[in-house]
Structure 1
Amino acid sequence: MANGGLSREFPTPGIVYSERSALDHAATRATPIDEAGKMYQLNLKLQAETNLICDLSTHVEAFRAKRNSLKNKAQELMRDYCEEAVKYGEQPLPLGSKPRQITVVLNPAANKRKAKAEFEKFCAPLLYLAGISVTIIQTEHEGQARSLVEELDQAVVTGLLRRPDGEIATSRKFPIGILPLGRTNTVGNALFARDTNTVRTMADSAMAIIREFAKPIDVVKIEALETETDLPGKPIYCLAGIEWGAYRDTNARKDKYWYFDGLRWYAAYLFNGLKSDISWRCEADLDFSLPCAGCSSCHTAVEQDVLSDKQKVGARWWQSYLPRLGQSPATNKYHVEQIDYSQIHNKACGIRHRKEVSTIEFSLTTANVDKNCVREGDSHLQLNLGPKEISYMDFVAEGWKRIRGQEPFVEEKLKTREFELWPALPNNSKEQEKWISIDNEDYELKPIHVTLLPKKIHVFYKPENVI
């Protein structure tokens, strides 16, 4: 119906209109401005994702370039070492002499089972090029290396010194080559200053054998003392030292936190700092003597450089008429001049000192890995005693400091050449067994007698790295 030229629409019957529904309907209607805003936001998100993908691609390419560069440098480095090794292999042998022979006792499980691959890649080629005959024996279980060496003409310290002719073997027959293939080869790392360049470290250790640069180093003899329940067994020999206490126990558990990868060392201290089964109280009676450079009281006469009749197993009568090779300093490149200690007297030698030990850590280090273990040119053992107690935060901080290669905190240091350690052992079977580490190998804690054998064996080394 027309009314002044205006028309009016009426609601459709049956439909209820409200002010609220009208507003909601207006709000849901998209305007061109809203659509443009959404498109703009979507474009920004796509651009950010594209930039992220480009950044990742750049990092991947940089990583590949760095890896290829390191690979090329490793190949160039090995080429230089191979060229030097070939020169040794091309040298003519004297008439009647045989090529050098070495026996390698290899633990394939060392360094996360990378030891065999690293040996075959960086060490073995150099030895072969130098004309050395190499026999490789792979160990299959713990302790096999020691038992093998007791029967073979090869040099691993404990097995070598347990041989019937161990004194002579160490003094003139068998210099030892240490290949730092394991992660915890402390002495090997000291001889060749291991760094991030694995190629250089491995090649240097092999070239030390080829060049025949050898030096005498100390050996520590460890004997279990007889108790009411245990009889003494065969002695153990080590080069680096002994560890007992909270830090040793924590380090032994680091592989339990493998899922932290490179942070598992740090995680071990975080999660074990409050556990009761850690050796927080290392209690023992210590009986020790002060260092002595050697005198008529303490020095055992060096065994003659001739095997006794009992040791000459399989010898023939006619061999006694042949000249004995390697018995004179002129023919023995590893000969060490012997000193007559019968005329040297030291009143302080042999005087026993006693001390009650109560600490969270007891450790022993030698001059092979610590220059501080040399006093006026004479080697000695250094006993390091930690604090009696320590808080959780201090324990974690000290552990992390050691991981970074910093010097450990030591509350007291004792210098000695020989000592007996009588630890407080569990009184019953319910108490947890205690363990110590000898050159990073685990042994059950027992009363022990420890003796320093100065300059006992010869090892190949890199002259630039002086222990």
Structure 2
Amino acid sequence: MSFLIKTAKTLRNHWKKSTFFFCVAVYGAKYANDRHNDNLLRRQYCEEAKKYGEEKIQLGHRPRRVTVFLNPAAHGGKARKLFEKTAAPILYLAGIEVNVVSTEYEGQVKSFMSVLDTTDTDAVVVAGGNGTVLEAVTGFLRKEDRSFSENIPLGVIPLGSSNLIFRILFGLDLKEVRALAESAIAVVRAVTQKVDVIKLDGGESKTIYAMTGLEAGAYRDAEERKTKYWYFGPLKSRWTYLRTAMKEWPPVFKATISYIEATEENMSSSDSSEALKSNKYSLGWSFVSLLFGKKQNEIKDADRKAKQLAQDQEDEKNRITKDISTVELTVTTTSLASNTSPVKALQVSLGPSEPTKTQLINEGWRRIKKSGFEMGSAEDERLVVKKVHIEPKEEGQWYNIDGESFEAMPVEISLLRNKLNFFCPQNTNSDR
């Protein structure tokens, strides 16, 4: 009893120290519990991967080979440690032959992709952020060998700051360890889905292939500047939009856009054109096809080309051109924008040309708290288009493409339907 009384007096007399050490003890217990739960989660995924690794390989077959492009600079330089602790064991236990390529400079992934062949790998996995994924997708579709993008699936292990593609494929509510493990086990399960790609053609070998789209305007510029205000801590994002409202007004993006409105007819012809290009590389050369099929295929191809040329000429006649001055311009797909349009095409959103300062600040603050993928605002003017050409009017303007910054330049944007195969969760194996 005397011990309890003595302890109570000590706690009362030294309540500040007691409170401090109590908080430290609670934090330590929570930290240890979280680490324990993370280890249990890793073990659960490793046990599933091990079952795949224990399956017998048929005579004459070899283990799957996966090429991993790892950006060690991602996640503040912790990317390699995170990959090796969570994702790598799952891939190895599944009996996969893993070839890890650590990137050392920007553009290296595209260089590797240009020499990678279907005989070298069965899948490509990007372990990094938005920039590394953008490089890999661009490298995939710049290859002259179209069979590579058709037969080699692409995986994403989220090691960047925002990981847009992963969040679209796997959802938003996954914590770090589960996200890494789920992306790795998706490669093991080999469940894929077709995903649309956005082509941004800047001419002179400056073509970029993106997954989410393009943003330009005041909100993009504000998000780019917010890291400069790190000294505001958690309020830096809110201060960014206040500071934007204090600068030269209105902060608008000026350009000339010309676009072809999307219809079911011209979008279906576009899909047929892509299928025709694909078929050129998938035709088998057999004795029977050489005798009977070659001539018929040539006639069909010529007929399709003639129809496609006529459709393209008709589209160009209906191209609409106008000058814009807007607080924000975005281009994404109707699928990602949750557009009610039955036509799978591009969606162009144009913000107001003369917003009030209060409107800009309120909209910016709303986006800080948003969840899920979103481009533009609900009040924007929306256009559903097959193609759109953007020509900026002023220098010093910038685009944001899949989370990466590019200097604004004239660009022709079009949609490539179901162009790439991405590894995905088991319950979402469907076309987008």
User: 1:297–1:68: structure 2 CA closer, same or farther, 3 Å change rule?
Assistant: closer
Hey, what's the Cα distance between the residues in 2 that align with 1:81 and 1:368? 31
Contact 2:271–2:417, Cα closer than 8 Å, also in 1: no
| 1:196/1:219 CA distance change after superposition, 3 Å | closer
Shift in Å at residue 454 of structure 1? 0.5
Out of 144-153 and 346-355, give the one that drifted further: 346-355
- Alignment partner of 1:375 is 2:334: no
Matched, 1:213 2:195: no
Once residues 401 and 268 of structure 1 are traced to their aligned partners in structure 2, the CA distance between those partners, rounded to angstroms, is 13
* Inter-partner Cα distance in structure 2 for 1:263 and 1:115: 27
Measure, in 1, the Cα distance between the counterparts of 2:106 and 2:246.
31
1:109 aligns with 2:73: yes
Match among 170, 174, 182 for residue 152 of structure 2: 174
2:29 corresponds to which of 27, 40, 65 = 65
The verdict on how the C-alpha distance between 1:297 and 1:138 changes in structure 2, with shifts beyond 3 A counting, is closer
- Match for 1:220: what amino acid? I
Q: CA deviation at 1:365?
A: 1.8
Q: Output one character per residue of 1:103-139: Cα deviation in whole Å (capped at 9) or x when no partner.
A: 1112222232232222112111100110111111122
> Is contact 2:191-2:423 (8 Å) kept?
yes
* Deviations 1:322-361, CA, capped at 9 Å, x for gaps: xxxxxxxxxxxxxxxxxx8999998985532223221011
Provide the alpha-carbon RMSD of the alignment. Answer: 3.0
CA contact (8 A) 2:334 2:341 kept: no
Question: Residue 304 of structure 1: SS of its match in structure 2?
Answer: helix
Cα distance, 1:63–1:296 mapped onto 2, change above 3 Å: closer
> Which structure 2 residue ranges, 5 or more long, are not aligned?
1-9, 118-122, 125-135, 287-303
Which amino acid is the alignment partner of residue 279 of structure 2? Q
Q: Which residue of 2 aligns with 1:286?
A: 257
Partner of 2:96: 132
Corresponding letter in the other structure for 1:113: G
**Aligned pair partner of 2:278 in 291, 303, 318:** 303
2:255 is matched by which residue type in structure 1? A
* Residues 180-205 of structure 1: CA deviation (Å, up to 9, x unaligned): 22122211111111335211111111
The Cα shift of 1:273 comes to: 3.2
Normalising by the residue count of structure 2, what TM-score does the alignment of the two structures yield? 0.79
Moved more, 294-303 or 55-64: 294-303
Percent identity, please: 34
How many angstroms apart in 1 are the aligned matches of 2:402 and 2:66? 23
For 1:149 and 1:49, locate their aligned partners in 2 and report how far apart those are by CA, in whole Å.
Answer: 68
> Which of 337, 344, 359 lines up with 2:326 in the alignment?
359
Could you say what secondary structure the match of 2:414 adopts?
strand
For 1:100, the equivalent position in structure 2 comes to: 64
Cα separation, partners in 2 of 1:263 and 1:139, compared to 1, 3 Å: farther
Match of 2:370 among 405, 409, 418: 405
Question: Paired residue for 1:425?
Answer: 394
| Counterpart residue identity of residue 386, structure 2 | R
Give the Cα separation in 1 of the matches to 2:13 and 2:208: 62
**Among 80, 87, 95, the residue aligned to 2:44:** 80
The equivalences for 1:240-255 within 5 A come to 240-255=212-227
Among 83, 91, 104, the alignment partner of 1:119 is: 83
Question: 1:150, CA displacement in angstroms?
Answer: 1.5
Matched, 1:414 2:383: yes
Q: 2:195 & 2:33 partners in 1: Cα distance?
A: 38
- Retained in 2: the 8 A contact 1:175–1:458? yes
Residue 140 of structure 2: which of 153, 156, 160 is its match? 160
Distance 2:256 2:94 in 1: 52
Query: Do the aligned partners of 2:201 and 2:207 also contact (CA within 8 Å) in 1?
Result: yes
Q: Which amino acid aligns with 1:205?
A: S
CA contact (8 A) 1:398 1:409 kept: no
Flag the 1:305–1:209 CA change in 2: closer, same or farther, 3 A.
farther
**Structure 2 CA distance, aligned partners of 1:352 and 1:144?**
38
Structure with max Cα Rg:
1
State the distance in 2 between where 1:83 and 1:158 align: 35
Please state if 1:275 is matched with 2:255. no
The residue that corresponds to 1:386 in the other structure is 351
Does the residue aligned with 2:348 lie in a helix, a strand or coil? strand
Secondary structure at the residue paired with 1:65? helix
Q: Measure the CA separation in 1 of the matches of 2:15 and 2:398.
A: 55
Does the CA contact (< 8 Å) of 1:288 and 1:354 recur in 2? yes
Partner of 2:131: none
Q: Separation in 2 of the partners of 1:263 and 1:160?
A: 40
Number of residue pairs the alignment of both structures matches: 377
In the alignment, residue 259 of structure 1 is paired with which amino acid? Y
**2:270, 2:219 → 1: CA distance?**
37
In 2, the alpha carbon distance for the partners of 1:63 and 1:369 equals 40
